[in-house]
Structure 1
Amino acid sequence: MRLLLMSDTHLPRRAKALPQELLEQLPHADVVFHAGDWVDTATLDLLEAGSTRLFGVYGNNDGPELRARLPEVARVELDGLRFGVVHETGAAQGRERRCAERFPDVDVLVFGHSHIPWDSTTDDGRLRLLNPGSPTDRRTQPYCTFMTAEIEAGRLTAVELHKLPPRR
């Protein structure tokens, strides 16, 4: 099962459209995760129409229309792996401990907000935290980013951070 992970698209504030490199991944993804800060409903409509299964949440920049259509936290089980999706997890320091306490029933937590890619595991190895960064707004990062991953035999594999070329 192939996964596509994104967050903080901020359309059309930060870019006019999702990057072509990300859109090319959409037909190959069995599941798409979006960890909030969509800003526009058109992006939600596009991903709903173009993906088999979409799991998204609203972020702090999302208005009433998006909040009416999306939860603050989403959970789904895929091939025995329990996923959670949330926009904000707080400061980097202590993140693994806080998230393990807040999401004891989750194996993989997809989050956003910082625009900083993140891939870590709690000390006990129980919870993996993934932030795909932003495909449209790199802020202090050298690249705009998104992630892909696979689920094979109930395990998360092939987690890859995709660095996008600078926009012209």
Structure 2
Amino acid sequence: MTTRLLLLADTHVPKRARDLPAQVWSEVERADVVVHAGDWVDVRLLDAVQARARRLVAVWGNNDHGSLRERLTEVARVEVDGVRFAVVHETGPAAGRERRCAERFPGDDVLVFGHSHIPWDSTTDSGLRLLNPGSPTDRRRQPHCTYLTVAVSDGRLHDLTLHRVAR
């Protein structure tokens, strides 16, 4: 069995966009699991994603307050087809990130994180895969708004794809 995941972070709705782009909503509806690494900003987006996603794994970010912090956790963990995922918003500066994350998440296979709005894909010496999907609504200094999709089966990741959001 293959499970399709959509990885999101830093959506910042409605501060950076009125809503998620239609392209992203289509991915939400196609995914078996939606993973969101925080900075939702408004609880209405959480409600909308929960209503449309088959399964949601999500955390709060530094711009999430009130009911978002009440409903979400700082760190979430889930196992999907034999792969152990951890999700957190902030991992600190890029320098030393791999070492810090390997120490903080020793029992996990993949860490999905956000905060920087910068896509990231690396693997630590211990084998922890670090993935940041960027942001589908606020590219900051990046050339494009982005998100990730990945398929998981038999304890492995397949077809990891960084998608540009069409404007």
Count of matched residue positions in the alignment of Structure 1 and Structure 2: 165
The equivalent residue for 2:47 is 45
Among 86, 89, 102, which residue is 1:100 paired with?
Answer: 102
Q: Equivalents in 1 of 2:108, 2:35: separation in Å?
A: 15
AA matched with 1:156: L
After superposition, where does 1:124-139 map in structure 2 within 5 Å? 124=126, 126-139=127-140
The equivalent residue for 2:13 is 11
AA matched with 1:16: R
AA matched with 2:138: D
The equivalent residue for 2:85 is 83
Deviation at 1:64, TM superposition (A): 1.2
Deviation at 1:27, TM superposition (A): 1.7
Any idea what the Cα deviations from partners look like across 1:63-99, whole Å, max 9, x if unmatched?
1110000000000111111000000000111111100
AA matched with 1:137: D
AA matched with 1:148: T
Could you list the runs of 4 or more consecutive aligned residues of structure 1 that deviate by over 2 angstroms after TM superposition?
none
Q: What are the ranges of 5 or more consecutive residues in structure 2 without an aligned counterpart?
A: none
The equivalent residue for 1:141 is 142
Q: What are the ranges of 5 or more consecutive residues in structure 1 without an aligned counterpart?
A: none
After superposition, where does 1:61-72 map in structure 2 within 5 Å? 61-72=63-74
Normalized against structure 1, the TM-score is what?
0.96
% of aligned pairs identical? 64
Any idea what the Cα deviations from partners look like across 1:130-149, whole Å, max 9, x if unmatched?
00000000000000000000
